Structure 1
Amino acid sequence: MHDFALALEQGNMESFYPTLSALWRSQTSVEELNHAFSIFFEKEIQLLMIDAMQPKFDAEASIDENGVLTIEGRYDTSPSVVHFSHRYILEGTDWRLIGINVQLK
């Protein structure tokens, strides 16, 4: 989440892009990520305050039949709660991000 929040602070996904799995990078571009998260930029959403917080997990991390690790939780920020879902795949010896969903509710 820190890398995502930092990209929001910077106003584009350029610094976030290298943190993605090679598979995801082969399927998307920085420009496509900027478009996907454009609402965050338009509303000037800033999330670096979560660095000082511990996430609350909605369920235990799980690995599905395709080897995808899913982590879901939230940060109890105010006035909106930050909900997240991250999906990772194992590339070499590292778990690398293959999907992210962030919502403010």
Structure 2
Amino acid sequence: MTSHRMPAGSDPARPGPDHPLTIWVDGEPVPGTAGQTIAGVLLGAGRRQWRTTSQDGAPRGVFCGIGVCFDCVVEVNGLRDVRACLRRAQDGDVVARQGAGPEATP
């Protein structure tokens, strides 16, 4: 099987204009773009971990990226156990780390 390549200018799937948004993570503003998941916004901001395990306080972030593993859970607008890889970010969302370790407290 060979790939079909087309010039970028003739690709019908063109991105639209960006619609910026800001979520608040542990009291800090984090910029993103409409359509991104919370995990996408966090990863785009350079954050690779935002939860700790209850047993040994090990850091966690995105593992599977499809909502199967629960490694990326956060608290969003007061609701716990939200999978950051599935939840689309909304402008003004308040996100807090979740976990048992001392670094999980905002």
TM-score, shorter chain, exceeding 0.5: no
Could you say which structure has the higher helix fraction?
A: 1
TM-score, normalisation: structure 2: 0.26
Could you say which structure has the higher strand fraction?
A: 1
Whose radius of gyration is greater, 1 or 2? 2
